[in-house]
Amino acid sequence: MTKRSRNSQPVLSIPRSPLELGLEVVAVAGILWGCWIIFQSWDGLGDRIPVHFGFSGQPDAWGNKAAIWILPAVAVVFDVMWAVMANYPHTFNYPVAITEENARVQYHLARLLLGWLKIEMIWLLMWILWQQIQVSLGKEETVSVGFVLATIIVILGTVAVYFRKALAMTRG
């Protein structure tokens, strides 16, 4: 008999798939790239850098140069938090009822959703960091709002694909 969680979903030990491991590598690569671009541009940054951008992409708040580390720090928190969460798929809410028969597939799909969302969020943060540096160095005047909106659409699309697959796996 399979152990059950408080919400009565089966508790299974499912090893990470090669795709899940690959997604983790891509996420960590994003964080490392962000740190690398900070180190590469550190000497060229002024004492004050843009720390917030309005809807038009124009900087509307400035802060200390050390604030450049905020986005990589947030990315690390996302990475660790979502990596830990992936170990407990039996605690998630699902769009379908979880049974002994479908738990393994549904848990795997949920962990893949976390992995894809993680790399999308981390790379979005690192792209914003890159844009922040470009504005700080005077190479750009604004952040591309279109890219941010496109990324949000990709994130929503990822969630939609997950729901479609999760529901399809229940039917057949």
* Ranges in the chain, pLDDT < 70: 1-7, 171-172
The alpha carbon torsion through 111, 116, 121, 125 (nearest 10 deg) reads 130
Strand partners for 49 = 63
The two structure tokens encoding residue 66: 């050390």
Neighbours of 87 (CB within 10 A): 12
According to the model, what pLDDT value does residue 145 have? 84
According to the model, what pLDDT value does residue 6 have? 58
- Rg (C-alpha) for the chain, rounded Å, is 20
Contact call for residues 27 and 19 (beta carbons, < 8 A): no
According to the model, what pLDDT value does residue 169 have? 85
The two structure tokens encoding residue 163: 């729901």
According to the model, what pLDDT value does residue 22 have? 98
Contact call for residues 137 and 46 (beta carbons, < 8 A): no
Please give the angle made by the CA atoms of 106, 111 and 112, to the nearest 5 degrees. Answer: 95
